[in-house]
Amino acid sequence: MSNYDGTGVVSFSRFMFFYDKNTKNWKSDNAQGRKGNIKTETIGQNSACHFTNAQYVNYETLGDRDLDFGLLSGKDKEKVADCVLTIVK
């Protein structure tokens, strides 16, 4: 995450994430779930950046309606962070 406070400061966090494409089950360090179950769940988070299983429009969740994951730059105090997700296989 960068530029959260408008100064260009970079922040990061890391977490493990596992996904089984056959069962659609996923697990991270602090959460677990199943894709396509309608529930909105955050898999990992760093301040305003959320790796999530749900779809969002205008910062409002539409729930977990498909098999996609997404990176959401959450709105916090009218500031929006520049979020980056790096996946190492």
Give the separation between CA 59 and CA 50, rounded to whole angstroms.
11
- Average pLDDT value over all residues in the chain: 84
Is 21 exposed, middle or buried (CB count within 10 Å of its CB: 0-12, 13-18, 19+)? exposed
**Phi (first) and psi of residue 13, to 5 degrees:** -145, 165
Signed CA dihedral, 65, 52, 4, 87: sign only? negative
- pTM for this predicted structure: 0.76
What average pLDDT does this structure show over 2-27? 83
Structure tokens at 44: 């990992």
Tens of pLDDT along 69-89? Answer: 988 887 665 666 778 888 888
Give the separation between CA 28 and CA 17, rounded to whole angstroms.
4
